[in-house]
Amino acid sequence: MATVKRVNKVEELKKAKDGYDVLKDLIAHSEAGDYDAISEDDVANRFKWWGVYRQKPNVGHFMLRIKIPGGQLNPAELNAIAELTDKYARGFGDITTRQTIQLHWLTTEDLKPIFEKLWAIGMTSQFACGDVPRNIVGCPLAGVLEDEIIDSAQHAVDIQNAFVEGKTEFSNLPRKFKPSIGGCKLHCHQPQINDFGFYGVKRENGEVGYGLLVGGGLSSTPHYGQPLRVFVKPEQVVEVAKAVCALFRDHGYREKRTRARLKFLVADQGWQWTRDKVEEILGYKLEHDDSLQHPPAVHSDHMGIGKQKDGNYYVGVPIERGRWTAKNMTDIARLAEQYGEGEKRIRLTSKQNVIFLDIPEANVEKLTKELDNVGLPPVAHSLRDSLVSCTGSEFCNLAVVETKHRAGRVLKWLEENTEIDVPIMISFTGCPNACSQYQIADIGLTGIPVVIKGEKDENGKPLKVDGYNVLLGATLGETPQFGEVIAKKVEGDKIHLALKALVDAYMADRVDEDETFK
Ligand code: SF4
């Protein structure tokens, strides 16, 4: 007799009502403003399919994540988000490491008008969370970089659209599914740590297309994606993306949530099996190319000021640990309108920054001066470009420590007390789930409560404070390696000293400027 596999609770819940189908209930509750009447299954689970999370401490406020494929925005879209931020989100939002924007402090009543505003300008939060294909990440300079291998900007949008327009086709995956595509030579879009990562390839005969890694992901059990050793032609990329997602939907594990990500299936079955299944779904064979293994990726989000292939310029603006105000957003939208050209002329980066695109040479100086005047200087301490932070205990139910505010304080202190001429990625993360990618950072900090010996809290119990484990040694690229813990339970109030010691040691000991932090 065949064994019946027991599925986890969330699977039962999805079977009872698909997350995609919760929209009508969500809108009805928003119209009625009846938070307390929303079922626990909807409010704690299915709302995520529309980007809506309960905000800590679960007493009536929500976080909303807005999808932005490859971080590509136009001024009108950013203005609309600024308006929502000002009106509903207490005036600030966060850029995430998946190039989305997250708003906080939303009430049940706010959700409907926010959705309507987003829909009116062609944006959505559909599948921003939940067991679905999440926001696709991409190179922020896709389409404009002088030496890019392939322009992936439209492919990112096309893949995202295919997933969203499929409605219930991909709305019940075993777990979240993180896509990535990019075509720059640095492979800055982190193809190794996504469920799939298409990366740009130029062959000896001059043909351009993509290589493909499948089965990467971080969280508490990190895996690098495995190369499928295929050359994917540009015209095949959307159907291959859908086939990888369908493989996960149909073959992924649904028993234990902790083993449900695609990375576990690919690790168990291997790249050849994975590729065979993808080709079976496609109905044709992909072109084999043994040379297409791990690409030589590095950390970058192309900050600074540089020339584009069309002669215009891009101008990067670091946003301190990804948190910006509605005023910052309107300033950036206005300046992009005034000095830029092109459609998607604002890009969000995976290091939580912003880049202006398509600035004619004659406007670069005017733009940088205006940015200085509005408190968004494009040239800053190099750590400001590359220090990232997840949401942490301020709003996240899974966090064990606070991150955003400490990251801001630490950054300011390091700016005053260290000198470094290269951006090194420092990641503040509130729990092992790795939303800010501590395992691949140059210096990864993962939150952990620390007991202070001999001290008691107000209840007479051992005093616990926020602390961090410190990881070093991570590298992306051809021989990828995750960071390893080199110090445990460093008190949060001392973490700036640990970071300074590491930065100073690097600057003192490196042989030349080409010697990376790793
Ligand atoms: Fe929350 Fe943990 Fe993700 Fe930080 S890493 S946002 S604490 S789930």
In the prediction, which pLDDT does 517 show?
87
Numbers of helices and strands, H then E, in the chain: 13, 22
By C-alpha distance, which of 149, 136, 137 is closest to 200? 149
Ligand 1 centroid distance, CA of 489 (Å): 18
What's the confidence (pLDDT) of residue 220?
Answer: 87
Q: Determine the pLDDT at residue 7.
A: 85
Residue 390, ligand 1, Cβ within 6 A: yes
| Run of H or E residues at 277 | helix 262-282
For residue 182 the two structure tokens come to: 């990019």
Neighbours of 122 (CB within 10 A): 9
Structure ipTM? 0.99
179-182 and 137-138 beta bridge pairing: parallel
Please identify every stretch of the chain with a pLDDT value under 70, giving residue numbers as ranges: 1-4
CA 492, 442, 423: angle at the middle one, nearest 5?
A: 100
Which ligand 1 atom is the nearest neighbour of the CA of 399?
7
Asked whether 396 lines ligand 1 (CB < 6 A), one says yes
The 10 Å Cβ neighbour count of residue 25 is: 16
The CB of 433 under 6 Å from ligand 1? The reply is: yes
340 touches ligand 1 (CB under 6 Å)? no
- In this predicted model, what pLDDT tens digit does every residue of 443-482 receive, in sequence order? 999 999 999 999 999 999 999 999 999 999 999 889 999 9
Rounded to whole angstroms, what are the CA distances from 38 to 10, 54, 330, 505?
17, 12, 34, 54
Q: Is 435 in the pocket of ligand 1 (CB under 6 A)?
A: yes
Among 219, 429, 471, which residue has the most ligand 1 atoms within 8 Å of its CB, making it the best to mutate? 429
CA of 391 to the centre of ligand 1 (A): 6
Q: Is 439 in the pocket of ligand 1 (CB under 6 A)?
A: no
- Which atom of ligand 1 lies at the shortest distance from residue 447's CA? 7
Instruction: Write the burial class of residue 289 (CB in 10 Å: 0-12 exposed, 13-18 middle, 19+ buried).
Output: middle
pLDDT for 406: 98
Closest alpha carbon to 321 in 236, 381, 264: 381
Q: What's the pLDDT at 512? A: 85
Give the Cα separation of 20 and 127 in Å (integer).
Answer: 8
Counting ligand 1 atoms within 8 A of each CB, the residue from 219, 394, 404, 435 with the most, and so the one to mutate, is 435
In the reported structure, the alpha carbon of residue 94 is separated from the centroid of ligand 1 by a whole-number distance in angstroms of 13
Distance 392 CA to ligand 1 centre (A): 6
Cα distance between residue 73 and residue 156, in whole Å: 13
Pairing outcome for strands 72-73 and 313-317: unpaired
Residue 436 CA: nearest ligand 1 atom is 5
Interval between CA 428 and ligand 1 midpoint (Å)? 10
Is the CB of 472 inside a 6 Å radius of any atom of ligand 1?
Answer: no
Please, how many CA atoms are within 13 Å of residue 12, restricted to the half-sphere of its CB?
7
pLDDT tens digits for 356-370? Answer: 999 999 999 999 999
Residues sharing a CB contact under 8 Å with residue 88, sequence separation 6 or more, in sequence order: 103, 105, 106, 107, 110, 113, 114
Determine the distance separating the centroid of ligand 1 and the alpha carbon of 446, expressed in angstroms.
Answer: 10
**Ligand 1 centroid to 396 CA: how many Å?**
6
Helix, strand, or coil here: 514?
A: coil
**C-alpha–C-alpha distance, residues 308 and 314, integer Å:** 7
Pairwise CA distance, residues 326 & 93, whole Å: 8
Percentage helix, strand, coil, to 5, in the chain? 35, 20, 40
CA–CA dist 21, 1 (Å, integer): 35
Q: Token pair of 250, please?
A: 């149909």
From ligand 1's centre to the CA of 40, what distance in Å?
Answer: 21
Can you give the pTM of this predicted structure? 0.96
Q: Determine the longest span between alpha carbons in the chain, in angstroms.
A: 76
Instruction: Output the CA torsion 240→288→296→141 (10° steps).
Output: -40
User: Distance (Å, rounded) from C-alpha 254 to C-alpha 64?
Assistant: 26
Distance CA 403, CA 272 (A): 40
Q: Is the dihedral of CA 188, 191, 193, 194 positive or negative?
A: positive
Chain centroid offset of residue 292 CA: 25
Q: Which helix (H) or strand (E) holds 496?
A: helix 495-509
The amino acid sitting at 218 is L
Distance CA 180, CA 195 (A): 8
Helix H or strand E segment including 388: strand 387-389
| Distance of alpha carbon 423 from alpha carbon 426, whole angstroms | 9
Using alpha carbons, select from 20, 6, 45, 4 the residue that is nearest to residue 254.
Answer: 6
pLDDT of residue 1: 52
Q: What is the pLDDT of residue 3?
A: 62
Considering only CA atoms, give the Rg of the chain.
22
| Residue of 433, 440, 445 with the most ligand 1 atoms within 8 Å of its CB, for mutation | 433
Distance between Cα 283 and ligand 1 center (Å)? 39
**Cα-to-centroid distance, 118 and ligand 1 (Å):** 25
Ligand 1 contact via 430 beta carbon (within 6 Å): yes
Going from the C-alpha of 24 to that of each of 30, 60, 411, 465, the distances in angstroms are 10, 19, 43, 43
Residue 54, beta-bridge partner list = 62
The preferred substitution site among 96, 431, 439, 445 for testing ligand 1, maximizing ligand atoms within 8 Å of CB, is: 431
